[in-house]
Chain A
Amino acid sequence: MQFELNDEQSALRDSLARLLADRYGFERRRALAISPEGHCPQTWAQLAELGLMGLPVAEADGGFGARAEDLLPVMQELGAALSLEPYLPLVLGATAVRLAGSEAQRAECLPAVAEGACRLAWAHDEVAGRHAPWWVQATARREGDAWVLSGAKSLVLGAPLADRFVVSARLSGEPAQREGCALFLVDAKAPGVQVRAYPLVDDSMAGELVLTGARAQALGDAADSARALAAIDGTLAMGVAAICADMTGAMRAAYRLAVDYLNTRQQFGRLIGQNQALRHRAAEMLVSLELAKSMAITAAVAVDDPGSEGAHLDLHRAKVSVARHARQLAQHAIQLHGGIGMTEEYAVGHYLRRIHVLDQLLGDGDAHAARLAALLTQGPAA
C-alpha cells in the first residue's frame, strides 16, 4: 500500500497551487464569475502551459497519459481555489475520445486538446435520466456517409466554452438500455447545434445542448456498442474520481477558513475558538476531511487499478462517503462563521455551493448508495 504523491505529482501540485494563489484569489474569482467569459482565459492558457490539458491525453497523442492518481492533486487544488475553468469537462471529453475513438480520430482530435487549442465537453446526461448513469434518448441516424444526431443533453459542463462535444446517442433500443448506443464527436459550430448557456448555482458555466439533425462523426465503430459502453463507463468512472478529488480540495479550503475564523473572531471577550461546542465541531470536520481524503485516493486507485480487490465497489463507496462528509463539513464551516458565512461576498458559502453541484453530478450520493446496495445484495462479482 502506498498513499503518498510521487515527486512529479507533488511538483505539479505545488506549481498549480502557486499559480492559483497568484491568479485566483477569491476577489478575482468573484469578478470572473460575473464577467462575460465566465472564467479566466489567461489562467486557462497558463494551465495549458503547466500541462494540465495534456494529462488526460495519451502520450502517443501528445499528452502525458496521466492516471486518475495524477489528476487527484490537480483536482484538489482546483476545488480549493473554487476554479471556474472548464477543466472537468475537458477531462471527461478527452477520456471518452481516448476510450472510444479510433487511432486516426485520437490523432486528429487529442493533440489540439493537449495543447489547449481545443476545448472538449461531455454531453451525456439527459433531464429524464436524473441520476441514472444510462439514459440516452438522443438518436443517431445514418445519412449517406455521415451521422446525424437529434435530441437534448442537459447539464453539459463548460458548454458555452466548448469547441467540440462528445455526445452519446442511440442507434436503437429504449432509453435505459445499455446496448444500442454510440459516442459521437460534434463540432460546436456545426449546423443544427444549439447551446442554451446558463451558469450553475456555483457560478460555473454549463448549458443545454440541443441537437436538431446535427452532423457528427461516430467515435470508433458505431455498431460496436460494447466498446461505446465501456467508453462511457470508463469516462464516468474517471469523472467520479475527479469529482471526489475536487470535493476534498474544497473541503480542505472550507476547513481552513473555519479554523482561521475560530482563531480570529472574538465574542463575549474571548476567541470563539475557546468554546468547546465549536472546538468539537472543528474536530468533527477534521475527521470528515481525513476520511474523504482517503476515499478520494480509493476512487483514483479504483479507476487506475480496476482489477484490485473491491475496486468495482470503491467508486460508489467513494461518492457516497465523500459527498456525505463534504456536505457536512461545508455546513459546519458556514455555521462556525455565523452571519458572514451566509454572504456571497465571503468564500466559505461558495464551498457548499460547489460541493452541492459536484454531489449532484454523475449520480448523487443516494444514487451511488443504491447502486452499491444492488452490487452488495447480488454478492461479489465473479
Chain B
Amino acid sequence: MDLQLTAEQQAFRAEVRAFIQERLPQDIRDRLRAGHPPRKEDTVRWQRILNERGWAALHWPRRFGGAELGQAERLILMDELYRAPAPLPQVFNITMLGPVLMKFGTPQQCEHFLPKLASLDLWFCQGFSEPGSGSDLASLRTAARREGDHYIVTGQKIWTTTAHWADWTFALVRTDPEARKQEGISFLLIDLKSPGITIRPITSIDGEHHLNEVFFDEVRVPVANLVGQENKGWDCAKFLLGNERTGIANVGLCRERLDHARTVAERTPQGAGRLIDDPKLQAELATLDAEIRALEVTNWRFLLTPSAQQELPAFASVLKLKGVELQQDVNALLARIAGPSGLERRGSDDTAHGPLTPRYFYSRAASIYGGTSEVQKDILSKFILG
C-alpha cells in the first residue's frame, strides 16, 4: 500500500502547478480566493489558456483537443486548479456533453461541437430539471413533436445554471408521450437563440443570479441535433450522470476553502488577539482537516482501484454525500469566521472581504443539485438492503 504519486504523476503535478503559476491571471486568482464564483469571462479566458496546452479536456482523445490522460491526472489537475484557485473547465461542456457526444453522437456532431466545447466558443448549459421534475427527473414533460426535419419543442426547464450566459443547451425532452416514463425521452441540442425561447433569471438566497427558468414555445430544433436515437435519451442522461464521479467529491475545493478559513482567521482580530488562537476554532479546523483527508484518500481509493469499485458500485454516492457535507461545513465555518464583519452586503468586486456569508447560503444548494443527499442515500441503501 502506498499513498504516493508515481514519479510521472509528480512530474505532471509540478508541470501543472508551474503552468498555473505562470499563466493564471492574477485578477481571477484574487476573485476566486476571496470566495467569488468565476464570472463567465473568467472561465472563458482561463479555459482558452488551458486549451492551448490540451488541458481543457484532459481525458478526451487528442483528435478532439484532449490530452488522453487518465483518472489520476484528471484528479491532479482538478486539485491544482482548486489549489490555485483557478476556474475549472466548464463542466457542462467538458464533463457532461463532450463524453456524451463521443459515445452517442454522430461523427458530424463530434466534428462540429467538440472543438467548440473545448475552446468555449460555445457555452452549453444543462436543460434537465423542470418545475414538476426535480429528483424524479424521468417525469419530465417538456414535449418535442416531430414535424419533417424538425422537432417542435414546448415546455419549461428550471434551475438552469448559467443559461443566461449560454449559447446552447442540451435538454431532455419527451418525444413519445405514450411510452413509459424513461422510454419516451430524447436528448436534444438546442440553440438558445432560436425563436420561442425565453430565459428568466432566478435570484438565489446569496442574492446572486446563477439560476434561470427557460421557456420553450414552439421552438424549432433540427432533427440533426438529436443525440443518439429518438426515445433513447435516458441512456445518454444516465451515462452523463455516471461520468460526473471524477469531480463529485470536490476534495480540492474543500481543501482550498479550509486553507482560506485559516488565512482569514489569522488576520481576524478577536479582542486583543487573533481569532486563530481560539482553541475551539483550532479544534474545528483540525477536525475538518482530518475529515477532508479521509474524503481525499477515499476518493483516490475508489477512483483508482477497480476492485473497490466492484465491491461498492454505488461508490459515487459515498463521494457525493461526504463531499457535499464537508463543502457545506467549511462554508458554514467561513461564514462564522467572517462573523459580524461578514454581515455587510458588499459588491461583487470586493476582494478584501469576499462574499463569505452569501457563499455559505449558496452552499446549501450542493446537497440539492446533482442528486439530493436523500437520493444518494436511497441509492446506497438500495445497494445495501436491496
CA A69 to CA B1, docked complex, whole Å: 7
Given contacts A295-B297, A297-B297, contact A316 B1 (CB under 8 A): no
Within 8 Å by CB of B286, from A69, A292, A301, A320, lies A320
Kindly state whether residue B257 has any CB partner on chain A within 8 Å. Answer: no
Residues of B within 8 A of A283 (CB): 317, 321, 376-378, 380-381, 384
Expressed in whole angstroms, the minimum distance between the Cβ of B74 and any Cβ of chain A is 14
Give bound CA distance, A284 to B386, whole Å: 16
Interface residue ranges of A344-375 to B (CB < 8 Å): 366, 369-370, 372-374
Asked if A3 and B385 make an inter-chain contact with CB atoms under 8 angstroms apart, the answer reads: no
CA distance A304 to B2 in the complex (A): 9
Within the complex, what minimum Cβ distance (angstroms) separates B339 from chain A?
Answer: 19
Q: Are B318 and A317 in contact (CB under 8 A)?
A: no
Contact, CB under 8 Å: A376 / B283? no
Q: Within residues 280 to 321 of chain B, which ones have a CB less than 8 A from any CB in chain A?
A: 282-283, 285-287, 289-291, 293-295, 297-298, 300-301, 304-305, 307-308, 312, 315, 317-318, 321
CA distance A304 to B312 in the complex (A): 27
Q: How far is the CA of A92 from the CA of B304 in the complex (A)?
A: 33
Tell me which residues across on chain A come within 8 A of B262, comparing CB atoms. Answer: 376
In the assembled complex, A279 has its CB within 8 A of some CB on chain B: yes
Instruction: Say if the beta carbon of A291 comes within 8 Å of chain B.
Output: yes
Q: Report if A177 contacts B (CB, 8 A).
A: no
Rounded to whole angstroms, the CA-CA distance of A313 and B297 in the bound complex is 14
Which bracket fits the contact residues of B? 35 or more
Q: Does B374 contact A (CB under 8 A)?
A: yes
Asked if B374 contacts A301 (CB within 8 A), the reply is no
Selected from B283, B297, B304, the residue in CB contact (under 8 A) with A370 is B283
CA distance A73 to B355 in the complex (A): 46
What per-residue 1/0 map shows which CB atoms of A318-332 lie under 8 Å from chain B? Answer: 101100110000000
Q: How far is the CB of B319 from chain A (nearest CB, A)?
A: 9
Are A287 and B293 interface neighbours, CB within 8 A?
A: no
Q: How far is the CB of A288 from chain B (nearest CB, A)?
A: 9
Question: Interface size bucket, A side?
Answer: 35 or more
Assess whether A291 is in contact with B307, with CB atoms less than 8 Å apart: no
- Checking A262, A301, A373 against B3 with a beta-carbon cut-off of 8 angstroms, the contacting residue is A301
Closest B residue to A319 using CB positions: B290
Residues A305 and B290 in contact, CB atoms below 8 Å apart: no
Q: A301-B3, A320-B287, A376-B285 are in contact. Are A1 and B300 (CB under 8 A)?
A: yes
Given A308-B4, A369-B287, check contact A298 B293 (CB 8 Å): yes
Majority-rule SS of A interface residues: helix
- Complex contacts, B290 vs chain A, CB 8 Å: 295, 316-318, 320-321, 369, 372
A-B contact pairs, 19 of them (CB 8 A): A1-B300, A3-B308, A259-B385, A262-B385, A279-B377, A279-B384, A283-B317, A286-B380, A290-B318, A291-B291, A293-B298, A294-B297, A297-B297, A297-B301, A324-B291, A373-B279, A374-B282, A376-B285, A377-B282
Does A77 interact with chain B (Cβ within 8 Å)? Answer: no
In the complex, residue of chain A having the shortest beta-carbon distance to the beta carbon of B258 = A376
B3 CB contacts on chain A under 8 angstroms: 1, 297-298, 301, 305, 308-309
Which of A5, A280, A298, A317 is B289 in contact with, Cβ under 8 Å? A317
Minimal beta-carbon separation of A292 from chain B (angstroms): 8
Give the interface centre of A286, A308, A309, A369 by most chain B CB atoms within 10 Å. Answer: A286
Residue of A292, A301, A305, A317 with most chain B CB atoms under a 10 A cut-off: A317
Spell out B's residues near A (CB within 8 Å). 1-5, 72, 262, 276, 279, 282-283, 285-287, 289-291, 293-295, 297-298, 300-301, 304-305, 307-308, 312, 315, 317-318, 321-322, 374, 376-378, 380-381, 384-386
A36 CB to closest chain B CB, in angstroms?
A: 40
Per-position 1/0 for A271-286, Cβ under 8 A of B: 0010010011011101
B377 surroundings in chain A (CB, below 8 A): 279-280, 283-284
With the chains together, A4 CA to B301 CA distance in Å?
9
Closest A residue, CB atoms, query B374: A280
Task: Please state if A287 and B322 are interface contacts (CB–CB under 8 Å).
Answer: yes
Partner of A4, one of B1, B294, B315: B1
Q: Within 8 Å CB of A318, what residues of B?
A: 290
Assess whether A321 is in contact with B293, with CB atoms less than 8 Å apart: yes
Cα separation A220 to B217 with both chains bound (whole Å): 86
Q: Does residue A314 face the partner (Cβ distance < 8 Å to B)?
A: yes
> Which chain B residues lie closer than 8 Å to A287 at the CB level?
318, 321-322, 380
Q: Chain A 1-14 against B: per-residue CB contact (8 Å), 1 yes, 0 no?
A: 11111000000000
A247-277 interface code vs B (CB 8 A; 1 in, 0 out):
0000000000001001100000000010010
Q: Nearest Cβ in chain A — how far from B186, in angstroms?
A: 32
Residues of B within 8 A of A325 (CB): 294
Partner of B298, one of A2, A4, A290, A370: A290
B286, B287, B297, B380: which contacts A298 (Cβ < 8 A)?
B297
